[in-house]
Amino acid sequence: MFKKLIRRDHHISHRIASSSRRPQKLFVVISLLAIPEITFSLSGLYIIVGVATTNLSLRDAGLFALGTLCVGSITKLLVRRVRPDTTYVQSMRTHTFSFPSGHSTGSMVVYGSFAWVIASELPLLLGTLTLLTAGVYIFLVGVSRVYLGAHYVSDVIAGWLLGAAGLLLYILSGN
């Protein structure tokens, strides 16, 4: 059963990655904003700005994001799933493992927690729009990773779930 699930995952991922290439540049840009260097840096920036301004909510967003990103990185090293064999993967400047998607994890916890911080300070309508905008971006990051051929669908779903767990822990911590 597990092998059948993996074959299905590979088949779906391959079909998405081999579809029309027209929006490829858009998906590259969307992915670029969620590279680990940016999400780790933003987490650190949240911590620094949060401490400097005594904004404990922002500080905690950075701490939870950083912790979640570290869990994702460790999970990659433990699972050691090889990325899809695609032209995009071959052209990547750094080669890491595939599971879970660091872009999906990072976009969920880093941009999700920041949207939560911002939304909590805005009127209901603007706060809701902020959260929806973040949600659309997070979704597009995951889609971009499969579309570009960098990940399997299950890598992205696992990344979203890990990021959502970190985000939920942050929210439940009282922020």
Active site residues per annotation: 103, 151
137 SS3 class: helix
Q: Which two tokens stand for residue 114?
A: 């920041």
Contacts (Cβ under 8 Å, ≥6 apart) of 137: 30, 33, 107, 111
Amino acid at 61: A
**Angle in degrees, 0-180, between the axes of helices 112-119 and 56-79, rounded to the nearest 10:** 160
Q: How far apart are CA 94 and CA 124, in angstroms?
A: 42
Rounded CA separation 120/158 (Å): 27
Which DSSP string corresponds to 105-136? HHIIIIIHHHHHHHHTTS-HHHHHHHHHHHHH
